[in-house]
A and B are shown apart, each in its own frame.
Chain A
């Protein structure tokens, strides 16, 4: 880390205020709401960081060259996995409170009793810890190795990364699926959707792309990364555009099959989300997560326009949070809850991760200068 990272009193203040609100909310609004919020932000940061790692790994996997100059951004952002580890370990406290499969009543439920081993706290925790460890391993290989390459200029890292990338894809598939099945589907253990992991992947990868776009815009605003041109931005924009469609494709495919089959144990999950205030949230999600970004990025000029990309990226991060809110909060069964606890949690986690990212953005060089393919990436033309 370079010395002299300017501290930000504003972010620090927000984080502190948020933390106070977070702690107060546990005692005032009850543990259920506290844990729902905690899971939301745990999943948000986990999927975001994991998506960034995926972006890094896919570059190594397919030997992409265009993204080498911007690879340092997702690499730095994926270090959010480090704070995610304690957040995830704390989140295990939610399991006996919110997850029906881990509550003592589950023994009287025929289906849940049959899955007691899988849904119970010990194995649940073991899976989560294993996922976190696998992610840390990937972080060590892909990101730490890349940061080290800045000094050593050793092209051997690229060989190692390319060998590790296929393994990472398997790790990624397992982790994101376990995350989706355990932490989100597990809230309603009688409801199944095989495609749920892919759905979470689509949202998380979009959030990762959006965070990369924002980090790029912020660094370029400071006069760094000036060699990254419109061509690179355009590719990021095209990715962002494509994955809004992918997300809605998966989301709608999941909805339509359940809507058609109309099986009571499946359709109830949507029934809850299509009633009362949740109906408005569902519609808002479709509009903010698909319609607006789709038409905002549909033209060729828009995909390379930095300002347009910035606000679409902010929108996508917001709609990923909204997506998780929509996935998690209906299980509380209390309608649309949004008040000071949610605001405090948002403040704490957003400001806190911004603090982390501010520091992370100073780690290593701005571009992977040791990567032998960097010149090729800088030459990239559409």
Chain B
């Protein structure tokens, strides 16, 4: 018999909640979003997307404005997909006073359009002679680079698109007829387009893709006795494809899927924090106003009316323009305006609760105002607060997105609104870069819908029970 009514109440709530299909959809979506927020970096190919969104270096190995990889399914000519390869095998050859370190990469090219670039990353501590060669499926071997590299903080980066121009021109000379060579403009030559094409006349004008296994070999000469200054990093090869990732890349070469995943966290953070604080403030304010009554109540209600009639967006825009926009000031500002949402309902509920005999009984026992307010009145308002919190979340997310869209967002993080802003200023709509615009827009709508569904379902269940018992 001794069943805790709190648990049965929760049980009842769940039974009723399950009956609301939209509520269940909202709950499933929320769980999904929460999972993405928690797993975040593990899901995306660029784990530091959230903090390095504006780092040019972090995204330098991606193509710009590349469509999502799955668009290949619908394309007549398949484009090479961006990839990052580790060395297939590596070896070291000891010489007299020096050492040759060799690493080779295997790249299986099975597309119609070649990658835009091949970029090699490897560790060297001092300027060192380096050579790069490629072996093609037709048995030809091309020496691409033979020079000395200057390492930047222990790491060297060789972009074949930039470094292999001369070698590729030599390669072309052996194949194209002289009259074609005359017309050839060496600077407009795309090295990768040549390297991944059949070795036949017309190579430079109408290359045909040579599919098959390619082998890229990297050789570095290291002088003995030079202490390695940094941790040994295995060399790697970045294939800068024509298409990339689940959601493509933007004009700043950023992987949009990583950005969207990183945005989930910030959307939830902004939404939850704003809703939690503003509803908590609103509930206490409304309850206090009702409990105090008289002049205090009248004054608090007038203040509430002034606050609730002020438009938030102009304030946010002006303040974001004056101060350095940050997520914290944005949340504070939203709380300052959002708390009014629940005040009227809470006040009317508290007015009713205030007249209950148990409040009078508590008074007769000697309970003071704070105790009656926080032990007797506010706990009864808690279920209602949950519903209004859920309804306040989408508002906060959309406001943040709006302000970010206007270019006044926090520059140290990435939110969906900021991605949209970059898309607009980057001309995504004019250039047909739909993968830059549609996903963040849909995500904002989906996140809003999640909480709206949850809020409506909870509101429907909790409303008939507003009368305290």
Partners in one complex: no
